Amino acid sequence: MYEFHGDKRYYFDMTKKVTVGHIIPFILDQKALAPGSRILEIGCGEAGVLQAFTDLGHTCVGIELEESRLEFARAFMAKELAEGQVSFLNKDIYDVNVQDDLGEGFDLILLKDVIEHIPDQARFMPQLHRFLKPGGRVFFAFPPWMMPYGGHQQVLPGKIASKLPYYHLLPGALYPLSLKLLGVNESGIRTMKEIRSTGISIERFRRICRQSQLRIVGQRDYLFNPIYEYKFGIKPRRQSALVSALPWLRNFLTMGVYYLVDSSQD
């Protein structure tokens, strides 16, 4: 496990920097955001992403399942909370009622490093329509499951367990057995199995978008994910056009993807 996983202030600042430097420019390349847009982040964590948008004058809402993370979000964004620029909701996204809990729809929904943790994405993604205003869009960023560290093994203690690539792709019982042999305790094994159960590939994400009537309007593939600059000191690098054009192979070699989608139901 790396030190930044336990330093909530550093993690907040890191996600804000990535949002300012990479996510917002990517979104604005596809479509301008009107002043005072309503923005929703699903799985907001400590809310570093949202502060990048409140700094631009937008009104934001963060939904987060873990109350402990929202305690940090409220502390880090106390000024924005007091001024009514941001609000937070501690609730399972499947239980959210848009009108009762949120009041109205949103111009932009953000899911940064979240979709790969949501159970049953094929049931969840079609529901995004109900959160959007007409013409609204959804931003996704996620590590493809088949990439070297798609199993999130970097959060594990132990140098080998946290740095060994691709072993999360071992079939069946071989994966939990490998974790046990690497010294991971039962709690860690359960966590890794949960992550495995929700991991998502580029191909499956695109297929669910089609089935959910979500139209891809922007895509960017990264060989080195932008957040690696702050986590590991590795400069961001986009994936080659050739690899990005090769289905399945791109899953193994692409460490991060950005997507912007809109609703073809509009």
Distance between CA atoms of 7 and 20, rounded to whole angstroms?
20
Q: pLDDT per residue over 91-105, tens digit each? A: 999 999 888 999 889
- Taken in order of first residue, the domains within the chain and their CATH numbers are 3-144+200-263 (3.40.50.150), 153-198 (no CATH)
For 191, counting Cβ atoms within 10 Å of its Cβ (0-12 exposed, 13-18 middle, 19+ buried), the class is middle
User: To which residue do tokens 């940064």 refer?
Assistant: 112
Banded model confidence at residue 158, pLDDT cuts 50, 70, 90 = confident
| Both tokens assigned to 87 | 């609000």
| Both tokens assigned to 146 | 């088949």
Buried b (16+ CB within 10 A) or exposed e, 21-37: ebbbebbeeebebeeeb
pTM of the model: 0.94
What pLDDT score does 52 carry? Answer: 98
Q: pLDDT per residue over 228-251, tens digit each? A: 998 889 999 999 999 999 999 999
The sign of the dihedral angle between the CA atoms of 165, 66, 33, 85 is negative
